[in-house]
Structure 1
C-alpha cells in the first residue's frame, strides 16, 4: 500500500488516498473516495526519473504517485509498459532509432525532396510558374538590371536566329528571350515563366553567334525541365505550393530575385541542360566549340578576378569592401556548374562526333 494524490477531474482539489494493486485491480481509498479499476482499463504514464507517475481513468480522473514502490507493484501484477516506452528505455534501441531518424532525414533531403519537387513541378498549373516568373522579372528589373543597350536590330537578329532553331526530341517548349544590361556581369538565366534573360555583357564576351545560341540552348534546357521551379521548391520546401493555392505567395516572391540571380542548380541539372544544348546544336548542325571557348574565357575571367581580389586583399590587410565582394561573386556564372574542364571537353567531344 502506498500514498497517492487523487484528482476527480472536476476540480483542482487534491485528495490524499492510499493505493494498492491486487490481482491486476487498482484500489483507491481515501476520505469519501472508494474506487476500483482494472489495470487494463486505465492509462499509466511512462516512468521518468524525476517526475511522478500518473494513472488516468476514462472519466478524466487522475492519480499522481511519487512513491518508487509503485513500479514494483506494477511488475508484481505483470504490468507491461507500452512497446514504445520499452524502446525509449532501452538505450541500444534508442540509439538505433536516432541513427535511423538521421538517415531518414538525410535521405529525405538528398533524394526525397528533389523527387517530390520534380513530381510537383511537372503537375503545377502554368499560372503558378507564370506568376512566379512575372513577379521575379519585375523585381529583378527594378533592383538588378537595366534596359539593354544592344540595338533593337541586334536584339531582333539574335531572337530570330534562336527562333529558327529546331528544338531536340520534337519539343515545342515556349520561351521569351529578353536582353538586359546588368550589374552582375556576363550572365544568362531562365525564369520559371519561360523568360530567358541574357545580358549585354555575355553577348559581348561571346563575340560569336554560335556561342550565344549554345548558351541559349542551355537555358532553354532549364526551362524545358522546369529546373528553376524544381530548385525553388527544393530550396523553400513544397509548402510554397500550399501557400500559393490559398492565395499567399508574398513570402516566396520576396525571395525570388536573389534566388534567380544565384541559382545553385545541382550538377545533375546543369549536365542535363548542357546535354540539351548539345542535342539542340547537333540537330541544327551548329558547332559547339564556340560555346566551349566562351566557357573557357569566362573561367579565365573568373580566375583573374579571384587572383586580383586576393592580391588586393593582401594589400589592404585582407580587407575587402562589400562592393568588391559583389563584383567578384556576380561574375561566377559557373559557380554551381560542373567543372570548366569537364564541360569544355564534353562540348569539344560532341563537336568531333558530329
Structure 2
C-alpha cells in the first residue's frame, strides 16, 4: 500500500512530498530518501479525528499524512491494534475531557511551567537540530558582526592550548577566534558547542598566559553543558517550539530559535550556574579563579555592570555583578 505524506528530516526547514510504501513483507520504504526499515521499527501515532497522522522512523525522521483511512486499513491488514485515542473520540465526555487536559497541558507549558518545559525540550531535541540552529546563528553573526581575528599566532596557540585541556576527551567543542568592534569584549557559546572569543576580550586580559581567558572559556562551556542558550531561546519562543515538537515539524524550531539567540541575554541564574561550572573546571585544571575575577573587574570598569548597548547585549551579554566577582575571589586557590 502506498501512502502520500510530508517528510521532515530534522536537518533542514524544508518539507518533502514523499510516498511511503508498506510491503507485504512488513517493510516500510521511502525510496526518495533511501529509507527501508521493518514495520516494527516504525511508530504510527494515534488517530485523532481527521488530523494528520505522524509516522516516526528510527533515525529521527518524521512524516505527516492525512490519509487516515488508508492507514487504518493497513493497520487492520497487518493485524495492528487501532489507537485508543480514535475510540475515545466517539465518546463526547471523553473527547471533551481529552481536549480540556490538552488545553491545560499547553497552558502549563507556556506559563508557570515554562522553565521546566524549556529544560525538557532542550534535552530531547535531536543533535541535528541543535547543529542546524547553531550553524544558522553563526552564519548570521559572521555576516553582521564578526571579522577575522587579528591575534598573533602565539596568542592563539596559548589560548587554544587552554581550550584543548578544558575539553580533552569531549567531542563537539570548537573555539573560534574573531574580532568584533561592534560586539566589543565578548565570548559566547552556541548549543552545538561552538564557542566564539573576540579579540577585544583578549585585549583586556591581565595575564600573559591568558589564564583569565581560560576561565571565560570554562564559563562558556558551562552554558553549553547546561544547555542555557537553548533553554533561553526555547522559553522565549515557547509557542513555536511546542507546536513544532508536537506536529513533528522541526523546521518551525530551526527558523525560530536562531533569531532569539542573537537577541537575548542570559539570566543571572544561568550565569551563576555557569560560574559554578567554571570554578569546578578551573580547580580540576589547577588554575586559580582569581585570574577570571580580575578580568571581570576589567570588563566592569570598561563597560559598566548595568549600562550596556544593544550590541553589547548580544548572545553572551553576561551581567557583570559584584556578587559574581566576589564569588570567584572566594573560590580562588
What does 1:136-175 correspond to in 2, within 5 Å? Answer: 136-165=137-166, 172=170, 174-175=172-173
- The alignment status of 1:283 with 2:284, answered yes or no, reads yes
Whether the aligned pair in 1 keeps the contact of 2:109 and 2:117 (CA below 8 Å) is no
Q: By how many angstroms is 1:246 displaced?
A: 2.2
Q: By how many angstroms is 1:299 displaced?
A: 1.1
Q: Which residue of structure 1 lines up, in the alignment, with residue 127 of structure 2? A: 126
Q: Which residue of structure 2 lines up, in the alignment, with residue 235 of structure 1? A: 236
Whether the aligned pair in 2 keeps the contact of 1:166 and 1:283 (CA below 8 Å) is no
- SS of corresponding position for 1:205: coil
Q: Which residue of structure 1 lines up, in the alignment, with residue 205 of structure 2? A: 206
User: What is the rounded CA distance, in whole Å, between the counterparts of 1:254 and 1:338 in structure 2?
Assistant: 25
Could you tell which deviates more after superposition, 113-122 or 296-305?
296-305
Whether the aligned pair in 1 keeps the contact of 2:187 and 2:316 (CA below 8 Å) is no
- The alignment status of 1:248 with 2:251, answered yes or no, reads yes
For each residue in 1:70-115, what CA deviation from the matched residue of structure 2 results, as whole angstroms up to 9, or x when unmatched?
A: xxxxxxxxxxxxxxxxxxxxxxxxxxxxxxxxxx97x765640110
Q: By how many angstroms is 1:174 displaced?
A: 3.1
Whether the aligned pair in 2 keeps the contact of 1:129 and 1:193 (CA below 8 Å) is yes
CA distance 1:154–1:300, change in 2 (3 Å): closer
User: What is the rounded CA distance, in whole Å, between the counterparts of 2:220 and 2:201 in structure 1?
Assistant: 13
User: What is the rounded CA distance, in whole Å, between the counterparts of 1:270 and 1:289 in structure 2?
Assistant: 17
User: What is the rounded CA distance, in whole Å, between the counterparts of 1:125 and 1:304 in structure 2?
Assistant: 36
Structure 2: runs of 5 or more not aligned: 1-105
- SS of corresponding position for 2:113: helix
TM-score normalized by structure 1?
0.56
Q: Which residue of structure 2 lines up, in the alignment, with residue 179 of structure 1? A: 177
- SS of corresponding position for 1:129: helix
Whether the aligned pair in 1 keeps the contact of 2:189 and 2:196 (CA below 8 Å) is yes
What does 1:1-354 correspond to in 2, within 5 Å? Answer: 111-165=112-166, 172=170, 174-182=172-180, 183-208=182-207, 209-237=210-238, 239-240=240-241, 242-243=243-244, 245-246=248-249, 248-249=251-252, 253=255, 256=258, 259-303=260-304, 328-331=309-312, 337=318, 340-351=321-332, 354=333
User: What is the rounded CA distance, in whole Å, between the counterparts of 2:320 and 2:166 in structure 1?
Assistant: 27
TM-score normalized by structure 2?
0.60
For each residue in 1:271-315, what CA deviation from the matched residue of structure 2 results, as whole angstroms up to 9, or x when unmatched?
A: 110000000001111011111111111111123995xxxxxxxxx
Q: Indicate the structure (1 or 2) with the bigger Cα radius of gyration.
A: 1
How many positions carry a matched residue from both structures? 225
